[in-house]
Amino acid sequence: MHFACLLALWQDFVGPFWSLRAVLAPVLESYILLDRLLYLEEHTQNNSSTTGQITAELVPLFEPSVSPRNMVIIACRQDPH
């Protein structure tokens, strides 16, 4: 009986937390990708004389219907010499 009560209690919490995760996950993943992209751009501006020019793009690799994690950061460094 104790297990059934605990299970019922947890079921009341799982639904709202799962819904919150489903809504916030794409936003957080996009934020992380943009943060990494901006880091590359800022790092290039500050150190372009020693590391060379870096160009970075955020590109969809395939259709989002296949997987929501379809974005990729492509960065190319040009030699400063």
Instruction: Please name the residues in contact with 67: beta carbons below 8 A apart, sequence gap of 6 or more.
Output: none
Helix, strand or coil, per DSSP, at residue 78: strand
Mean pLDDT computed over 1-12: 76
Q: List residues bridging with 75 in a β-sheet.
A: 56
0.85 surpassed by pTM: no
Query: Cα(70)–Cα(22) distance, rounded to whole angstroms?
Result: 17
Domain of 36, in residue numbers? 2-78
Residue 32 confidence class, pLDDT cut points 50, 70, 90? very high
Contact between 60 and 27 (Cβ < 8 Å): no
pLDDT of residue 26: 86
Residue 7 reports pLDDT greater than 80: no
How many folded domains does the chain comprise?
1
- What confidence tens digit (pLDDT) does each residue in 43-69 have? 776 665 666 678 888 999 888 888 878
Query: Cα(75)–Cα(22) distance, rounded to whole angstroms?
Result: 30
